[in-house]
Amino acid sequence: MNGMNGLPLSTARRTTEHPTATGVTAVQEQGLHIVRTMRAAIVNLNVYPRGHRMVQECLDLLYERFCALLEMEPKVTIELKDHGSFDLNGVALARKGAEREFSAWAVQHFHDRGVKTILLSAGLKKEELDAFLELMARDPNTFVEQPVSKGIEALGIEHIETKSYLLSEEGAARPVIVGIGEGDAPEVEVQLSSDSLARLVRRPEFQEAIERLPARPFLFEQFQKYLLAALRQFGLQVPKFVQKTEDPSILFQGLHKLDDKIATS
């Protein structure tokens, strides 16, 4: 059975039957296997019931491959870059022939759900990986109001993390935590290089967080720093009065300007 009717396990296993290109390390080879198997698992989760053999076999195989990878590297960072580029612990995976198709699919699938980096650590449990894959098989609109990271937290997944930015990016890629109030008040995590910013700036609680920043000088300074870095990253001119402002409404105008730029880029 093929295509939208589901991916057979033989598709996921195919890479183990042929030698990889010269120079590909064992870690990279395992990474390429994982990309294939992950695609098969997610597609099958959308086609078959959770308990179906096609789903279970893919999930079992994917867990085996992640365990093998984590035996070689106790911490794994997967970066899903633009144009289908797929990095494993800072090294680009081969993208030739069929691997290009699977890599491009994985990047687009995770980007659509606001994920650009996946971090895994030794001790990964099968139920954690299964729950993560089921989460990632959901419609991308599921994550408009609540990011994937919150879904992972709610599911109690301890050995998988996601980021909406690339860890290798500089400046604006770093998160800024904006406190809304004192004590146990909630906080907002801002990823200035992420497309999630377009959704974030429209949330009333985020505007409230910006308005409260002057009472917390250190956070205000850090937020201003990364906002300016993000504006410059997208080629936007930053007036001097914005660079020195202590008025949160000015910063909020800058966010909307950045939001518009991201939406049209």
- Kindly report the three-state secondary structure assignment for every residue of 157-205: CCCEEEECCCCCCCHHHCEEEEECCCCCCCEEEEECCCCCHHHHCCCHH
pLDDT at 124: 96
Q: Which helix (H) or strand (E) is 117 found in, with range?
A: strand 117-121
The domain boundary, picked from 163, 191, 223, lies at 163
Same domain, yes or no: 84 and 121: yes
List the alpha helices (DSSP H) in the chain: 9-13, 26-47, 53-72, 98-112, 126-136, 148-154, 197-200, 204-212, 217-233, 240-244, 248-264
pLDDT at 256: 63
Cα–Cα dist 129/120, whole Å: 10
pLDDT at 22: 42
The domain boundary, picked from 137, 163, 189, lies at 163
pLDDT at 165: 80
User: Range of 49's domain?
Assistant: 3-163
Over 70: is that where the pLDDT of 181 sits?
no
**Model pTM score:** 0.59
Same domain, yes or no: 31 and 60: yes
Q: Residue 2's pLDDT band (boundaries 50, 70, 90)?
A: very low
pLDDT per residue over 18-63, tens digit each? 444 445 677 778 888 888 888 889 999 989 998 999 999 999 999 9
Higher pLDDT pick, 84 / 121:
121
The domain boundary, picked from 163, 192, 220, lies at 163
CB atoms under 10 Å from CB of 5, counted, come to 12
Same domain, yes or no: 141 and 180: no
Same domain, yes or no: 185 and 210: yes
Same domain, yes or no: 129 and 175: no
Same domain, yes or no: 184 and 145: no
pLDDT at 25: 75
Same domain, yes or no: 35 and 156: yes
